[in-house]
């Protein structure tokens, strides 16, 4: 139903705007001309009217249910952040609690264990969540978080600590996959970008809280055990609250629980008419049937095939995994995990407090990303983020050169002037972190929007696994790189990888903001369609701006 058909006859001031809106929308389609290849199964609903009716439904504002479930699901993001964040201060605080001072190798093991655990469950949880549902898998991750914390709190040796971090990693991997998926399946598309960023805000917020508590308990004996112990509280809250939350309509439809699914869609869109709800249910049913196979396993196998052989799916896969790889291989988490160690080596007295700046900048810039992601657009954010990161990485490489620091055995020997170059490093780090979190720190987590519903869980699983592989490699090699190729070499390497990433984004990453999911599929059909996507997104933005105006005029006229 178009706005023309729905609204009462327009008054004169509205007519111009409404006509302009329709004309612009049509010309956008004509100019962009992204014809969907008739052989690809992209649009299960071909009836134009029903599609626009569903667009009306999808464009509603988020209900209280959606807002609360976004925050409750984002507790997983908080856990992701807290558990990866506290390690920076814990490594400094553990000291000789396990008998002797930790070697750099042991520090890497303790850190990387979580990434390894997360990688394993990120791979398995995607298919599993399609079989048993998003909700039970997410609740299971809460149990793993608590078990992992208990093992670490009680640990007296490096290996028990590593085991605890590994189990906790299982929980982190599941949460990092399911939370954004669950949110994006529940959120209205116009708010999807921002709602997924809420989860990112909780990740960076969790890291900030972990750093702050770490700095506060820096000098407290066994303070790190308190930090780890506190991490049991959020999963318990999430576990209890999820008893009262529903699974997603998409999963329920796949299990043929149609009535339950409609009831949830109604709660998500409280103002929608029963007809609209019914159409939404039909859309989900038709999408569910678009993958052949009678059983979940047969559908899964066919899904694995489709994600590789359907060109638009494969492009989505390259982009989603590419962006997650870029996020990790440009080195950000080396700071997240080891900034305490690096700042201690550079000679800062309270290194944990200094590294609080890293987490603080990351959090503040994620708030900025929240406000601009649906307005400025994902592509533009990346095109700003990556070159700035590269500039600050080069600055750090230069500063480390003049500080002339050498990591030997378990020591760091500084020969240069830290009075001058120490502050430059802090500026370089803040600039690097800020430019990371305004773009590449957030955009990759929008991964779900690139896949059609039929392979979304699977695609998200691949992309999340790429994220954790990158995190694992960085966590297990950063300190070794500092030793073997010097800090200057390490940051120069990250700068070079950032440059390659920038080229990747310029050539392959289309603008997907403001597009309906079907349009995203059109963009990815027959090429990466960068130019067309940019003009299509611009026009969509213009159209929704005019529509907003239209509604405002309608209100004024009614008054």
Ligand X SMILES: O[C@H]1[C@H](O)[C@@H](O)[C@H](O)[C@@H](O)[C@H]1O
The site for ligand X (CB under 6 A) is made up of 84, 200, 203-204, 207, 327, 333, 336, 362, 437, 441, 445, 467, 471
Write down the least CB distance from residue 333 to ligand X, Å: 5
Tell me the HSE value of 92 on the side-chain side, using a 13 A CA sphere. Answer: 28
Q: Which is nearer to ligand X, 84 or 486 (CB)?
A: 84
Write down the least CB distance from residue 445 to ligand X, Å: 6
Q: Which is nearer to ligand X, 187 or 277 (CB)?
A: 187
Q: Quote the CA–CA distance of 95 and 103 in Å, as a whole number.
A: 10
Write down the least CB distance from residue 362 to ligand X, Å: 5
Write down the least CB distance from residue 9 to ligand X, Å: 49
Write down the least CB distance from residue 319 to ligand X, Å: 16
Beta bridge partners of 405: 414
Q: Quote the tokens at residue 136.
A: 């039970």
Q: Which is nearer to ligand X, 14 or 471 (CB)?
A: 471
Comparing every residue's Cβ against ligand X, the nearest one is 441
Q: Quote the CA–CA distance of 79 and 75 in Å, as a whole number.
A: 6
Q: Quote the CA–CA distance of 354 and 426 in Å, as a whole number.
A: 8
Write down the least CB distance from residue 85 to ligand X, Å: 8
Q: Which is nearer to ligand X, 288 or 333 (CB)?
A: 333
User: Please, what sign has the CA dihedral across residues 97, 99, 101, 102?
Assistant: negative
Cβ burial, residue 307 (10 Å; 0-12/13-18/19+) = buried
Q: Which is nearer to ligand X, 288 or 442 (CB)?
A: 442
* The residue to which tokens 């020591």 are assigned: 411
Cβ burial, residue 428 (10 Å; 0-12/13-18/19+) = buried
Count the Cβ atoms, other than its own, within 10 Å of residue 102: 22
Write down the least CB distance from residue 299 to ligand X, Å: 29
Q: Which is nearer to ligand X, 333 or 492 (CB)?
A: 333
Q: Which element (helix H / strand E) includes 411?
A: strand 411-414
CA 427 vs. chain centroid, Å, equals 26
Write down the least CB distance from residue 364 to ligand X, Å: 12
- Phi/psi at 97 (5° precision): -60, -20
Count the Cβ atoms, other than its own, within 10 Å of residue 295: 9
Q: Which is nearer to ligand X, 276 or 433 (CB)?
A: 433
Q: Which is nearer to ligand X, 346 or 358 (CB)?
A: 358
Q: Quote the CA–CA distance of 518 and 520 in Å, as a whole number.
A: 5
């Amino acid at each position: 139903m178009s706005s023309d058909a729905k609204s009462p006859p327009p008054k004169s001031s509205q007519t111009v705007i409404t006509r302009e809106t329709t004309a612009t929308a049509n010309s956008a389609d004509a100019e962009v001309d992204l014809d969907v290849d008739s052989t690809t199964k992209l649009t299960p609903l071909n009836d134009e009217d029903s599609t626009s009716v569903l667009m009306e439904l999808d464009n509603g504002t988020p209900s209280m249910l959606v807002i609360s479930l976004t925050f409750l699901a984002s507790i997983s993001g908080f856990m992701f952040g807290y558990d990866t964040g506290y390690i920076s201060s814990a490594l400094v605080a553990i000291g000789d609690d396990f008998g002797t001072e930790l070697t750099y190798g042991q520090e890497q093991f303790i850190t990387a264990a979580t990434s390894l655990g997360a990688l394993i469950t990120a791979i398995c949880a995607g298919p599993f969540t399609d079989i048993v549902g998003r909700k039970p898998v997410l609740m299971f991750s809460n149990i793993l978080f608590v078990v992992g914390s208990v093992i670490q709190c009680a640990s007296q040796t490096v290996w028990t600590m590593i085991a605890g971090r590994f189990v906790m990693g299982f929980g982190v991997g599941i949460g990092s996959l399911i939370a954004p998926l669950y949110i994006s399946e529940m959120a209205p598309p116009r708010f999807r970008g921002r709602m997924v960023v809420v989860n990112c805000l909780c990740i960076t917020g969790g890291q900030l809280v972990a750093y702050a508590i770490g700095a506060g308990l820096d000098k407290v004996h066994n303070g790190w055990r308190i930090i780890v112990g506190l991490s049991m509280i959020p999963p318990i809250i999430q576990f209890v609250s999820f008893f009262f939350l529903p699974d997603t309509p998409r999963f329920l439809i796949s299990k043929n629980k149609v009535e339950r699914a409609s009831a949830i869609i109604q709660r998500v869109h409280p103002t929608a008419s029963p007809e609209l709800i019914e159409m939404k249910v039909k859309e989900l049913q038709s999408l569910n049937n678009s993958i052949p196979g009678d059983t979940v396993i047969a559908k899964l196998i066919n899904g694995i095939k489709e994600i590789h052989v359907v060109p638009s799916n494969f492009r989505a896969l390259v982009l989603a995994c590419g962006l997650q790889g870029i996020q990790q291989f440009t080195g950000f988490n080396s700071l997240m995990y080891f900034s305490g160690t690096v700042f201690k080596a550079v000679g800062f007295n309270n290194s944990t407090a200094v590294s609080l700046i890293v987490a603080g900048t990351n959090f503040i810039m994620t708030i900025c990303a929240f406000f601009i992601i649906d307005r400025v657009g994902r592509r533009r954010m990346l095109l700003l983020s990556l070159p700035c990161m590269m500039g600050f990485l080069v600055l750090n490489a230069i500063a480390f050169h003049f500080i002339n620091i050498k990591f030997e055995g378990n020591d760091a020997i500084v020969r240069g002037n830290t009075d001058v170059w120490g502050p430059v490093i802090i500026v370089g780090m803040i600039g690097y972190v800020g430019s990371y979190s305004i773009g590449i720190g957030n955009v990759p987590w929008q991964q779900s929007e690139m896949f059609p519903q039929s392979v979304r869980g699977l695609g998200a699983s691949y992309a999340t696994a790429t994220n954790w592989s990158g995190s694992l490699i960085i966590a297990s090699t950063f300190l070794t790189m500092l030793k073997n190729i010097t800090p200057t070499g390490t940051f120069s390497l990250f700068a070079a990888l950032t440059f390659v990433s920038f080229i990747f984004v310029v050539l392959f990453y289309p603008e997907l903001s403001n597009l309906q999911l079907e349009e995203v599929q059109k963009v990815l059909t027959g090429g990466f369609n960068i130019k067309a996507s940019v003009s299509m997104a611009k026009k969509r933005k213009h159209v929704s701006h005019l529509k907003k105006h239209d509604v405002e005029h309608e209100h004024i006229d009614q008054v």
